[in-house]
Amino acid sequence: MNTSASDGLSVSQLVIKYGEVTAVDHISFTAKPGRVTVILGPNGAGKTSTIEACEGFLSPTSGTIQVLGLNPFLQRKQLNRLMGIMLQDGGIYPSARVGELVQQYCALYGNGVDANALVARVGLQDVATTTYRRLSGGEKQRLSLALALAALPKIIFLDEPTSGIDVNGRDLVRSIIRELRDAGCCVIVATHELDEAERIADDVLVFHRGNVVASGTLHELRSGREEIRFRSHSLIDVHSLSTTLGYTVEQTRQSEFTIAGTSDSRVIVQLTDWAKANNVDIGDIGAGSQRLDDVFRRLTAEPTT
């Protein structure tokens, strides 16, 4: 894999070990400027170790990482002025006030960013004089985002950027992410929120057991896997229904079911006929490509014993 400064982030044959435990096992991927790359994976998949190595906090066991053409561990000082990092737990002093903290960061980077405008940009103007300890969880998240934006970053790492944030706040964060992307920033987002990932991702990396088990655009990961979706509050024998339809039926969430491998209208007719014959109430029938959460479950499913 060739590394290039034109890549926002380029990782080649990365290995990270903790003693005898291999957390990351020879993974390679790139993330491009002007794109939102979302990293998904269950706990223990290697996401955090990989991101910490890309941010320069962790030295890899082997392999190479290039961030904007620089080695993040050996050239961290140069990279700091180009990189924004949003952490869930930023280690901020509890008595620090929102506006003063943002002013300090803007002065530190010296990029001419107006601190008051930045506070307003993340929707914290009403709590500008409030101390960190008195902020809600969502406000702390938006403050962490503001501090990452103070760098005017060419690459930004966002850890669970919408966690704990209300609906309006989520819309605001998504808008900022799109603005960063459209300005040519390389945006890396780590999240467990699959619905959120589906809203913002251009590209997706799925981690599992220290490997990248899937990568591509959101469309690529979802395409080629058709399904029919429906809702029912009735007790459904999915094995019996699978036999009737000739396709695998799964209950994916409470009251939500999928028929994998088809979006054929004739199967929908079979489904509705079966429901009528068995006094089963179904609704919200839809067909199309698999949702990201279905793709994720398939890729990270543990083998049954």
Assigned fold of 9-221: Rossmann fold (3.40.50)
The band of 288, judged by pLDDT with boundaries at 50, 70 and 90, is: confident
The band of 134, judged by pLDDT with boundaries at 50, 70 and 90, is: very high
Q: Could you tell me what percent of the chain has a pLDDT over 90?
A: 76
Q: 9-18 and 83-86 as β-strands: parallel, antiparallel, unpaired? A: unpaired
Q: According to the model, what pLDDT value does residue 30 have?
A: 96
* Domain chopping of the chain, boundaries: 9-221, 227-289
Q: Report the side by side order of strands in the sheet with 36-40.
A: 83-86, 155-159, 186-190, 36-40, 203-208, 211-217
Q: State yes or no: pLDDT of 154 exceeds 50.
A: yes
Q: According to the model, what pLDDT value does residue 4 have?
A: 44
Assigned fold of 227-289: Alpha-Beta Plaits (3.30.70)
| pLDDT tens-place string over residues 217-269 | 987 887 667 889 999 998 999 999 999 999 999 888 888 999 988 888 999 99
